[in-house]
């Protein structure tokens, strides 16, 4: 009898403890509202990701812009959640999804008004870190010439304080 009770306890414990974590629903990432995290008004950033000022660069001049931004979150989250965030939020800012690919790291290509944007998402499990690198460059024609939107509609592109053509290279510091 005692043996039967012990066996039921073991089986009951296994039945209630296995697989529960996999069935827990995960909420989608939300966009940040922190102004210091946004390097451009038309590029959404997931909440709790921080812009790495040392590894990021921005060049804006005469309607052209080049952004190379690195964001990190000191928490391991699924690459797929970050990819889903961009697939959901970039079209809301006028970007069209062109291509999603990658094995070791997830990559997404977007395009909009003479610009191309690539997002590369990477996990560093050992460092408990999730990182994405976002680049925006003027699109090029098949002959290699730049195609850039010289005049942007109000409320798009770089922040108003950074769009002065006399300013040239904008720094994050």
Domains of the chain, start order = 41-163 (3.30.310)
Q: Which two tokens stand for residue 156?
A: 């798009």
For 9, phi then psi, to 5°, come to -65, -40
Range in 1-5, 18-22, 73-77, 108-112 the model is least confident about: 18-22
- Given a cut of 80, whether residue 116 has pLDDT beyond it is yes
Task: Quick: pLDDT tens for 129-156.
Answer: 889 999 999 987 766 676 755 544 444 4
* Full-model pTM: 0.71
Length of the chain: 173
Percent of the chain with pLDDT over 90: 42
Higher pLDDT, 169 or 73: 73
Q: Which two tokens stand for residue 112?
A: 């909009």
């Amino acid at each position: 009898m005692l043996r039967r009770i012990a066996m039921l306890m073991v089986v009951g414990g296994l039945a209630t403890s296995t697989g529960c974590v996999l069935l827990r629903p995960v909420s989608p990432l939300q966009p940040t509202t922190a102004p210091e995290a946004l390097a451009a008004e038309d590029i959404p950033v997931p909440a709790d990701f921080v812009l790495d000022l040392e590894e990021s660069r921005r060049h804006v001049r005469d309607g052209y812009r080049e952004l190379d931004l690195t964001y990190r979150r000191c928490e391991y989250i699924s690459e797929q959640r970050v990819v889903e965030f961009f697939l959901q939020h970039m079209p809301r800012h006028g970007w069209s999804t062109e291509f999603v690919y990658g094995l070791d790291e997830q990559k997404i290509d977007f395009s909009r008004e003479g610009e191309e944007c690539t997002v590369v998402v990477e996990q560093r499990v050992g460092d408990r870190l999730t990182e994405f690198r976002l680049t925006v460059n003027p699109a090029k024609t098949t002959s290699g010439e730049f195609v850039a939107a010289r005049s942007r509609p109000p409320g798009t592109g770089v922040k108003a304080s950074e769009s002065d053509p006399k300013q040239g290279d904008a720094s994050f510091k």
